[in-house]
Amino acid sequence: MVNSQSESDVITVNPDDRRARHAAIIQLICTAEQVSWSRFYSLLTGNSILILAWAALHNSPSISVSPSISVKLGLTSCICLLGLLLGIFWAILGNRGRRFLAYYMHWGMLIETNSQCMPNPLELTIRLRDSRKKLGNGLDPKFSKGKSFYEKIYNFCGSRNILMIVPIMFSMLFFIMLLITWKDLIIKLVI
């Protein structure tokens, strides 16, 4: 978590100002969440276009500028490398977006802690998110003891992991597509 100020730097303010700050931090949290998922949707759209372009070129007849240089090989290789790099950069952006969200949640909790308003929605949301028991509790006693299989799956499927792992998985897919693109060259070099 990014902390540019310490908790002792929070000043005491009147209740109206505190409510305004609380509303502002809630808006920042909503915006950070929306930006994270909008970036993810852009990644999915961009990767879909790249994959379709690669598939169309891969299945088309080869166009050669000279006997040793294939335009198809060059274009499909560029598409694969672009997709591979985009996946890595998008994973970094996904992590960055989740760090901003955590930062805003931290400061929102500080505002709530120093206020007299009840309930504190940020505190309740963070407790719910971090409880790791969620839907499992109350439904089946085996989920309330230790780290159940459900809890492990639930932890793995969190927003931060999805926004970081899926772009990396797309990068791996583009790497495999690059190997498929180069398979004839690889076979010629090996044999």
DSSP state at residue 139: T
- Separation CA 134–CA 139 (nearest Å): 10
Beta-strand ranges (E) seen in the chain are: 64-66, 69-70
Alpha helices, H only, 59-142: 71-113, 121-130
Bin 120: left if φ > 0, else alpha if -120 < ψ < 50, else beta: beta
* Side-chain-facing half-sphere of 100: CA atoms under 13 Å: 17
Q: What is the pLDDT along the chain (191 residues), one digit of tens a residue?
A: 444 444 444 445 566 677 787 788 888 888 888 998 999 999 999 999 999 999 998 888 776 666 556 788 889 999 999 999 999 999 998 888 888 888 888 888 777 776 655 455 666 566 655 554 444 433 344 444 556 666 677 667 778 888 889 999 999 999 999 999 888 778 877 87
Residue 36's closest CA among 85, 108, 92, 105? 92
Prediction pTM value: 0.68
Residues composing the chain: 191
- Separation CA 117–CA 141 (nearest Å): 34
